[in-house]
Amino acid sequence: MQAFTTHRGLVAPLDRENVDTDLIIPKQFLKSIKRSGFGPNLFDELRYLDHGEPGMDNSTRPLNPEFVLNQPRYKGASILLGRKNFGCGSSREHAPWALQQFGFRALIAPSFADIFFNNSFKNGLLPIVLPEDVVAGLFQAVAAAPGYELTVDLSAQCVKAPDGAAWPFDVDAYRKESLLKGLDEIGQTLLHADEIRAFEAQRLERNPWLVKEHA
């Protein structure tokens, strides 16, 4: 998992409430169990004018020019600004996969659905909850200034604007440490690999019947 320390990036505004996971990555793309290749189909129903299916050549599909992520001023955005209840709906982990693989490192909204919120941390994507009035002000700032960027400092737990304004955010200590070190749950477990091997060796020594002998 890619570590997250301090990130400065272009902000893209998705001005709608209750963005569900089926909108983030439609159900037909869940057939794949690979953890890669979902970025081109992020917000598929909004980004393209035709119906998308797995295996299609997305480079030849007609784009919706009205959709925010298709607009040139937001090309390369790595911070997504949303409204309340972002990530609601089914618990598909493909949603944070798609957002991350598109290029987003952080999400900012007044609230997130719980399962999506948890899945984001597990996949190196930082969801940040800020007050609704602050988020509304950020939407206005982004609209008024093409190229608007924010800096997210995870160590300081702070979002910083170009004019010097700053807003603190809360984050669980364990999740913060995991992101700072770039460790998912498997990575955290592997930190104790030597201890695990030693325990297994001792367990088998005490209980040799656990090992099935072969002739």
pLDDT for position 23? 97
CATH of domain 6-189: 3.20.19.10
Give residue 186's pLDDT: 62
Enumerate residue ranges in the chain where pLDDT < 70.
185-193, 210, 212-215
Predicted confidence at residue 215, as pLDDT, reads 38
User: Which of 98, 100, 70 lies closest to 7 in space, CA to CA?
Assistant: 100
Q: What is the pLDDT of residue 72?
A: 97
Q: What pLDDT was estimated at residue 206?
A: 81
Angle between helices 114-122 and 94-102 (to 10 degrees): 50
